């Protein structure tokens, strides 16, 4: 096991350092410039589109999940272990400077998120629940490369519902066990069984049940964690200027606190940041494509907002909790233990129970989001009911196995798999980005006319492979038309 762990760690580091990082940053900067910094310029539009009405069918029922529900599905996957254990690991290894690179990655990655989720909406397909899509679909429909889509789908299935969900379950188990002093040897097995049952009850209900659960859980967990962080920061408010200073001064290496050189700070911040916000990774478009909206750009904007929600809100809360509460990082624990020690040190032993509740909400919602990503890609490979049933059973089993397994190999394996997955997706969105920018210009044109933008595939006659968006009625359903509006 140690040999496998060392191999995966080395392979992941080489892959990220020499291949994924240059492509990720290069494309992110290119998309930022090409779009006119859309991830900042259209921030108010992100908030507006988040609450757009859902287009309805001829019976007056929603065509699929709403823009907000798609946002909560992707946020459910983003917000989990990476926001607590991942940030703790980043700070323990790279020091406070890793936080700066997580923020930077979110800003640059916002443009990549816009492109990939816009493409996911454009090339979505219909299914019995509404719509599904994602990178596998735009590789197939947009690049005419089904083999590439199948490769991506296979990697994502290994990465999210199996590896990442195992990490979420492992973190829940570790936190709950720690609350009981780690003395109950049978507790991880019980937790694993309970988690597996709860997961099965939700995922066997399909995407609409997942959306209903995440729509309730995600805002609640974010608010609860935000309040916890504000209390701890408030108790240590005098250290806040020092914390901000340490984040910026240690961002460029030679970290005197933990001895981290620039390369370590940079790579740790970027990897942990991408694990958390998933910008450019190719995961969020799977959720974005499920939404019923009137224009593909709307989900590009909503999913970019999801990057900010994850990094600038939830990840930053964890970072401030740790940095205002843990003056001595040189002797600090790593991962979830660092965050846990900081919270207990600030609020007392009772907060272990509160943290367990928060981590359960974070990680369980992430398990549901990860599961949906896998289901969307399983259906890309095969729509046979037996295949979907087998996937659901394996995904539930992975939750139990993750609850009782060692986390080290899973973490390092997930890093390597995530790097391969990101690389395949980045190549695809780089090749298709011109289409996303055409859609952006069309959206901007309609907004300048005072319209709520509507897209039909007749607006892109040169692009083949667009399966939905046949005509205006199929897009808008029974949405009311603004008085005086013409199209």
The residue-averaged pLDDT of 312-339 equals 79
Q: Which residue has the tokens 């940079």?
A: 266
In a domain, 293, yes or no: yes
Local structure of 124: helix, strand or coil? coil
What pLDDT is recorded for position 485?
38
Q: pLDDT-based confidence at 356, cuts 50/70/90?
A: confident
* Residues 59, 136: Cα–Cα separation, whole Å: 31
Local structure of 128: helix, strand or coil? coil
The residue-averaged pLDDT of 448-453 equals 94
pLDDT higher at 473 or 468: 468
Is the pLDDT assigned to residue 57 strictly greater than 60?
A: yes
Q: Which H or E element spans position 474?
A: helix 472-476
The answer to whether 303 and 284 are in contact (CB under 8 A) is yes
Local structure of 130: helix, strand or coil? strand
DSSP state of 56: B
In a domain, 486, yes or no: no
What is the domain-level CATH number for residue 290?
1.20.1740
Q: Among residues of the chain, what percentage have pLDDT more than 70? A: 84
* Residues 133, 122: Cα–Cα separation, whole Å: 9
What pLDDT is recorded for position 477?
58
- Average predicted confidence (pLDDT) for the chain: 84
CA distances from 48 to 21, 245, 444, 465, 476 (A): 33, 34, 14, 29, 17
Number of helices followed by number of strands (H, E) in the chain: 23, 2
In a domain, 381, yes or no: yes
pLDDT per position as a tens digit, 153-180: 999 998 888 888 888 888 788 777 776 6
The residue-averaged pLDDT of 228-253 equals 86
Structural domain boundaries enclosing 329: 2-476
| Window from 314-318, 323-327, 430-434 with minimum mean pLDDT | 323-327
What pLDDT is recorded for position 407?
62
The residue-averaged pLDDT of 325-346 equals 75
What pLDDT is recorded for position 119?
97
What pLDDT is recorded for position 307?
92
The residue-averaged pLDDT of 430-452 equals 96
pLDDT higher at 225 or 334: 225
| Window from 3-17, 182-196, 239-253 with minimum mean pLDDT | 3-17
* Residues 292, 121: Cα–Cα separation, whole Å: 9
Neighbours of 104 (CB within 10 A): 18
Q: What is the 3-state secondary structure (H, E, C) of 266-323?
A: HHHHHHHHHHHHCCCCCCHHHHHCCECCCCHHHHHHHHHHHHHHHHHHHHHHHHHHHH
The answer to whether 453 and 297 are in contact (CB under 8 A) is yes
Is the pLDDT assigned to residue 475 strictly greater than 80?
A: no
Return the top range by mean pLDDT from 75-84, 313-322, 428-437.
428-437
Is the pLDDT assigned to residue 487 strictly greater than 70?
A: no
pLDDT per position as a tens digit, 79-105: 776 677 778 878 887 788 888 888 988
pLDDT per position as a tens digit, 368-410: 888 989 999 999 999 899 999 999 999 999 998 888 876 666 6
The residue-averaged pLDDT of 97-119 equals 92
DSSP state of 163: I
Q: Of 21, 5, 281, 16, nearest to 159 (Cα)?
A: 281
**From the centroid of its chain, how far is CA 291?**
16
Cα dihedral 200, 204, 207, 211 sign: negative
Return the top range by mean pLDDT from 37-41, 264-268, 408-412.
37-41
Is the pLDDT assigned to residue 254 strictly greater than 60?
A: no
Is the pLDDT assigned to residue 329 strictly greater than 80?
A: no
Count of structural domains, the chain: 1
DSSP state of 253: S
pLDDT per position as a tens digit, 285-312: 999 999 999 999 999 999 999 999 888 9
pLDDT higher at 440 or 90: 440
In a domain, 483, yes or no: no
pLDDT higher at 5 or 483: 5
Residues in the chain: 487
What pLDDT is recorded for position 33?
96
Maximum CA pair distance of the chain? 70
Is the pLDDT assigned to residue 136 strictly greater than 70?
A: yes
Q: Among residues of the chain, what percentage have pLDDT more than 90? A: 36
In a domain, 485, yes or no: no
In a domain, 481, yes or no: no
What pLDDT is recorded for position 430?
96
pLDDT higher at 146 or 347: 146
pLDDT higher at 58 or 225: 225
Q: pLDDT-based confidence at 146, cuts 50/70/90?
A: very high
In a domain, 482, yes or no: no
DSSP state of 27: H
pTM value is: 0.88
* Residues 132, 114: Cα–Cα separation, whole Å: 18
pLDDT per position as a tens digit, 190-215: 888 988 999 999 888 877 788 888 88
What pLDDT is recorded for position 408?
65
């Amino acid at each position: 096991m140690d040999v496998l762990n060392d191999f995966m760690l080395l392979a992941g580091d080489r892959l990220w350092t020499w291949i994924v990082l240059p492509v990720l940053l290069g494309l992110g900067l290119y998309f930022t410039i090409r779009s006119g910094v859309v991830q900042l310029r259209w921030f108010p539009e992100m908030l507006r589109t988040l609450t757009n009405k859902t287009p309805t069918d001829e019976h007056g029922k929603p065509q699929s999940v709403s823009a907000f529900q798609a946002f909560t599905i992707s946020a459910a996957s983003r917000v989990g272990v990476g926001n607590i254990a991942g940030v703790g690991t980043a700070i323990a290894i790279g020091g406070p400077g890793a936080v700066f690179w997580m923020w930077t990655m979110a800003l640059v990655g916002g443009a990549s998120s816009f492109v990939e989720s816009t493409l996911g909406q454009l090339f979505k397909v219909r299914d019995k629940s509404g719509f599904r899509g994602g990178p596998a679909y735009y590789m197939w429909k947009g690049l005419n490369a089904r083999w590439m889509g199948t490769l991506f789908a296979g990697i994502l299935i290994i990465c999210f519902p199996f590896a990442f969900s195992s990490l979420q379950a492992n973190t829940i188990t570790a936190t709950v066990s720690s609350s009981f002093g780690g003395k109950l040897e049978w507790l991880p097995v019980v937790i694993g069984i309970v988690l597996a049952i709860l997961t099965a009850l939700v995922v066997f209900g399909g995407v609409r049940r997942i959306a209903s659960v995440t729509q309730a859980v995600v805002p609640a967990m974010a608010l609860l964690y935000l309040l916890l962080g504000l209390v701890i920061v408030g108790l240590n408010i005098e250290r806040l200027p020092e914390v901000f200073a340490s984040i910026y001064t240690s961002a460029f290496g030679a970290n005197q606190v933990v001895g981290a050189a620039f390369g370590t700070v940079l790579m740790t911040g970027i990897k942990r940041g991408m694990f958390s916000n998933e910008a450019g990774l190719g995961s969020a478009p799977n959720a974005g494509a499920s939404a019923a909206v009137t224009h593909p750009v709307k989900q590009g904007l909503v999913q970019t907002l999801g990057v900010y929600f994850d990094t600038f809100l939830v990840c930053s809360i964890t970072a401030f909790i740790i940095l205002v509460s843990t003056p001595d990082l040189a002797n600090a624990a790593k991962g979830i233990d660092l965050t846990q020690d900081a919270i207990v040190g600030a609020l007392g032993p009772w907060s272990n129970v509160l943290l367990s509740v928060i981590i359960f909400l974070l990680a369980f919602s992430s398990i549901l989001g990860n599961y949906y990503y896998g289901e969307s890609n399983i259906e890309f490979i095969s729509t046979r009911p037996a295949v979907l049933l087998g996937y659901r059973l394996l995904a539930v089993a992975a939750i139990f196995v993750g609850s009782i397994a060692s986390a080290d190999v899973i973490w390092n394996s997930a890093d390597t798999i995530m790097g391969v997955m990101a690389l395949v997706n980045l190549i695809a969105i780089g090749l298709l980005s011109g289409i996303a920018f055409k859609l952006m210009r069309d959206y901007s044109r309609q907004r300048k006319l005072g319209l709520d933008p509507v897209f039909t595939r007749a607006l892109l006659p040169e692009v083949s492979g667009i399966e939905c968006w046949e005509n205006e009625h199929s897009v808008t359903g029974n949405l009311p038309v603004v008085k005086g509006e013409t199209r």
